[in-house]
Chain A
Amino acid sequence: MATILKTEKLEKSYKMGKLQVHALNGVDLEIEKGEFAAILGPSGSGKSTLLNMLGALDRPTSGRIEIDQIDISKLGDKQLSVLRRRIGFVFQFFNLIDRLNATENVALPLAIENINKKKRQKIAEELLQIVGLGKRTQHKPSELSGGECQRVAIARALINKPHFLLMDEPTGNIDSKTAKDLMRLITQLNEEKDVTIVMVTHDTKIARSAHRILHLLDGKIVSKGDY
């Protein structure tokens, strides 16, 4: 199987006030195409920081990230923007645009790629159907529940047929029953649509849905025994 995501000695540190914080201390990982991997770790272990690097939303302090065998540390702002269009990102806090309804939110990545309105709305509505929101296409985020918002966010992440899906605590803000349904959907996407998924969570139960669990502690990938 082909490696789709690879990091080497990935480090990230930033200043918090006067304190130098080392969020990542040399992370090496490889994700295969079609895989469903979970990164498990307590809060503050650097999970989100790692995921942001993988999604090209932030730059590492040092080390290497390869996406589809391309080293992204050398890319400029414009090339990174183009790259982000091929990565589906699902945030813990949904990050939907409040003013836009579900369809418009889902269709936004296609608008960015100059797809005309009629076409992108049709695709968006189909995707909302897949994530089980076929009847709530005209609702705004404020009129949707947390679980529904996360489904909209997943549909938005999928609309560009991304190389892989990155999920940052996708169930972090929703109740456990809804979380179960959502995990079913995510597993389904991986198994039936062959979507590569990297998910970050602190919840061992949620992580169990994945094929492989990577443990992150103090900015390092550790073996299960250490955790």
Chain B
Amino acid sequence: MLISDIFSYAVNAIRRKKTRKILAILGVAIGIAAIVSLISLSQGFQESVKTQFQKGFAADTVIVTTQSTDFLETESDFELYLNDTALIDQIDNVKNSVALMQKTCFIRIEERETSVVVVGIDFEEFAKIYPNTFRAKEGVIRNSPDSYDVVIGARISDPWKNGTVFGEIGEKIEIKWTTRSALQVENKTLSTNLAAILEDVGSASIGGPTDNGVYIPIETAQDFFDTTEVPTIVVQLTESTEDIVDETSKRIQEVFGGRIQVVTPRAVLNAISSIVSTIELFLTGISAISLLVAGVGIMNIMLTSLMERTREIGILKALGMFRRTVLAIFLNEALIIGIVGSTMGILLGVALATAIDQFGLVAGLASGTQSTLIGEVRIVPVFSPLLLGFASVFGVIVSIVFGLYPAWRASRLNPVDALRHE
């Protein structure tokens, strides 16, 4: 049989049995779409953990805090003060330290009022420790700022990432804080000028700047909050080797009689990594199941649509068609179904994963758990050529294998036996 005839015979078979073939193509497409969307999201998740987490982390820092880092521990009643940085600076291997005065306040930018954590810091020192993330996208972060300067994270100015921007450089931002002295409740308002908007950190950060942070000079914070007590001190070390970090952490604990917590980014990273690898395992499992389900689905539809054509194969053989020509016809059909189905599946999968990213199902989930210490994690699906290639090859191969198997079986029968098949 001529190749053109084999091809047109196969196309004819697909066109004339539309419903069944569309179902077969849909079966392949859905399977492939499941593979593409799930694996691209899970790869995106791995990618975001790899790049975004590490970007916000400074391995040469440790965080000294009075806050409990463990749910089971009781809150320490020990207090850290601003000038404790001088004490820490004296310890070996400590290069620098910055106190973070954190208070939960309301801020008002234009019409939007929202609850945030306001952080009082020394801009110059903080920028030295986090040169990559404490950096202005708009405006300037001055080393010796005006006392009313305020620096805000990228998500404070553009909270929904859709260009609805709050706050222009130089605009007034009100910070409202409620305190109590003796029996009196006092509402205080600090009027500040927006000096700078930070670049997108994009993700998590421990101790360093986050996209949801609001930063004011430490002196201003000291006056406004009327205290020198600080919950957190970020300490920069001379080296980032594990030995130095551990040894220095131990020394800092000794200095404070073990009444404070010393958190190392590496420990946090390890904790996150172990969660991440569990989730990864879970996602890999889902991908494997989707592969299996897709495979079985494709197999099922190809088997049933070919079983009923055993009789046709009998006719073709009775008319003198070679076995390999019969197989070539069915191979062609399976190939067309596989290629069309895989292509549709890839488009569908890319659309699905992009939609999940765009409508923020995953991002929404992650931002629900955001805090000042760890920012938002965004999962952007990764459509690697390898994944797309694999998905289409998988779709085509499964279609061929399960499309060809019944045809192969029928073609080996005596024409009489194939003809008898109902």
**Chain A positions near chain B (C-beta within 8 angstroms):** 52, 55, 57-59, 77-78, 81-85, 89, 91, 95-97, 99-100, 108-109, 111-114, 116-117, 156, 160
Contact = CB atoms under 8 A, between A and B. Distances in A.
Contacts of A59: 414
B120 to A, nearest CB: 80
21 contacts: A52-B416, A57-B318, A57-B415, A57-B416, A57-B419, A58-B417, A78-B323, A81-B321, A81-B322, A82-B320, A84-B318, A84-B319, A85-B319, A91-B419, A97-B312, A99-B16, A108-B319, A109-B320, A111-B5, A112-B316, A112-B320
B interface bracket (residues with beta carbon within 8 Å of A): 20 to 34
Given A84-B318, A85-B320, A99-B12, A111 B414 contact: no
A112 B319 contact: yes
B414 A57 contact: yes
Nearest to A82: B320
A109 B315 CA distance: 10
Contacts of A112: 1, 316, 319-321, 325
Interface in B249-269: none
Nearest to A53: B416
Contacts of A83: 320
Interface in B315-335: 315-323, 325
Interface of B: 1-2, 5, 9, 12-13, 16-17, 311-312, 314-323, 325, 414-417, 419
Given A97-B312, A99-B12, A99-B16, A111 B1 contact: yes
Contact of A117 (B5, B323, B325, B415): B5
A114 B318 contact: no
A206 to B, nearest CB: 22
A114 B6 CA distance: 10
Contact of B318 (A78, A89, A116): A89
Contacts of A95: 311, 314-315, 318, 419
Contacts of A58: 414-417
B93 to A, nearest CB: 82
Q: Which of B312, B315, B319, B321 has the largest count of A CB atoms less than 10 A from its CB?
A: B319
Contacts of B417: 58
Nearest to A109: B319
Contact of A99 (B1, B2, B17, B419): B17
Given A81-B322, A84-B319, A85-B320, A114 B416 contact: no
B322 A78 contact: yes
Nearest to B17: A99
Contacts of A117: 5
A34 B320 CA distance: 23
A166 B9 CA distance: 27
Contacts of A97: 312, 315
Nearest to A157: B319
Contact of A114 (B2, B314, B316, B415): B2
A116 B5 CA distance: 9
A99 B12 CA distance: 8
B291 to A, nearest CB: 34
Given A57-B318, A108-B319, A109-B320, 10 more contacts: A57-B416, A81-B320, A81-B321, A84-B319, A95-B318, A96-B315, A108-B316, A111-B2, A112-B321, A156-B319
